[in-house]
Amino acid sequence: MRLDRLLVYLRFARTRSMAKSMILSGQMRINSARVTKISCEVAVGDVLTFALRGEICVARIEKLPDRRLSPAQAAKAWSRAA
């Protein structure tokens, strides 16, 4: 799955253009490697590291979503991980 779509599906970014700006800022990493392309592929088991709202987020991809998560599902997923 493309990184920009994943960020929107998991509700880290509201739109794909916001996801694009997050990626192109140079602060996004997949498995400790800096990402410079918005079309970078993400797979199960990858670890994303990025800045979000002044904090560093580290997320391990355990399952790729088929569609955008609802706000309740996204909150539940992150409350378990934290």
Q: Say how far apart CA 17 and CA 15 lie, in whole Å.
A: 5
- Are the C-beta atoms of 69 and 14 separated by less than 8 Å? no
Coil, helix or strand for 18?
helix
pLDDT band of residue 78 (cuts 50, 70, 90) is low
Here the CATH number for the domain that contains residue 12 is: 3.10.290.10
Contacts of 27 (CB under 8 A, 6+ apart): 50, 51
Neighbours of 19 (CB within 10 A): 23
Domain carrying residue 15: 3-64
Total number of domains in the chain:
1
More confident residue, 71 or 34: 34
The answer as to whether 30 is a domain residue is yes
pTM of the model: 0.85
Render pLDDT for 52-69 as a digit per residue (tens, 0 to 9).
Answer: 888 898 989 988 988 998
Mean predicted confidence (pLDDT) in 5-11: 92
